[in-house]
Structure 1
């Protein structure tokens, strides 16, 4: 499986990128770092600068979800805030839902889902401060370690915070494999 990891050029929470990335690699899949600009993305450890990671593809060149089997949206406070201000990134996310491809989002990442207008009628979790945004966008917010929403056409896997990463990775890998037929 070819799995897109969408991040802004700066502000992604490092552990929410690296742990799922490693889980995808360990499962034998191909993670691809997609960003709004070429070069590198700057990760953060909460509010402190952390490592940089090379961008594999730029969202404006990718255009849609056609070449990917699934999408992972890491969190960090700044990351989804930057992404939701970029129409090409928002359109890229929306396209996964339009095509019925599974999407996984952790922590603050559902802000991008709210902007893409894909939470209506869905049950999801996130960092607690997003609950009102999710409710206002027509979703149902729950305080759970991980939540899988089967609302058609696309499955959505969400999680609250870095402490939930193990359960998050297990859940999205199960769904991604199920959706791929194996």
Structure 2
């Protein structure tokens, strides 16, 4: 099964972190979480005051992050800002995209994807990391993304060239199931959707 790395920062959105972690675990993925610039390295203080203990307190404490098959970025405006301002995070996003690996971002987390593309585009070497694709996000950051020149969609989940994006807490389940489907197939998605009693109009 694939390996997934999900990032978390102070101010990340709880639902958008926990739902992918839960769904990918049910699908048999090997999933790990890493904190980014946490004020208290023992936990992330999330947007609704829930505290999440990451598997790794820092990104630098993850052994060989390049070995993961997909990178996941939850939203939450403060957390997304932390991701966007972290050179380590932006370089990791760019590396995953350059290698043709999946990068998945939800809500305001999409802004880190945009920031990573700017960083990659400013380098002398053109690669997949510098390509703009069709994406979506929370409406609060829509204008920022469009002004950066990305094709924007109002769809609940968008998949384009190994980039998966979604809109917000209410689309987190669909976002997570889509990650499962693109990485291991619809059969696995359907297998775990049944026991979860997932609505057809999710």
**Superposition TM-score tier, normalisation by shorter sequence:** 0.7 to 0.9
Q: CA deviation at 1:18?
A: 0.6
Unaligned regions of 5+ residues in structure 1, if any?
none
1:142 paired residue number: 153
> For 2:148 and 2:131, how far apart are their aligned partners in 1?
6
The alignment's TM-score, normalised by the length of structure 2, stands at 0.77
Greater than 4 Å deviation, 4+ residue runs: 61-65
User: SS state of the match for residue 76, structure 2?
Assistant: coil
The equivalent of 2:53 in structure 1 is: 53
The structure with more strand, counted as a fraction of residues: 1
Q: Does 1:80 align with 2:80?
A: yes
Change (3 A) 1:87 1:121: closer
1:159 is matched with: 166
List per-residue Cα deviations over 1:114-158 (Å, max 9, x = no partner).
1101575311110012222212222111111111112xxxx0111
Alpha-carbon distance, 1:176 to partner = 1.9
| Counterpart position of 1:127 | 138
Question: Higher helix share goes to which structure?
Answer: 2
TM-score, normalised by the number of residues in structure 1: 0.85
Deviation at 1:79? 0.5
**Quick check: 121-130 or 57-66, which moved more?**
57-66
The answer for unaligned runs of 5 or more in structure 2 is 118-128, 186-202
Q: Post-superposition shift, 1:61?
A: 4.4
2:186 matches 1:175: no
Task: Check 1:147–1:70 CA distance in 2 against 1; reply closer, same or farther (3 A cut).
Answer: same
Tell me the SS of whatever aligns to 1:100.
coil
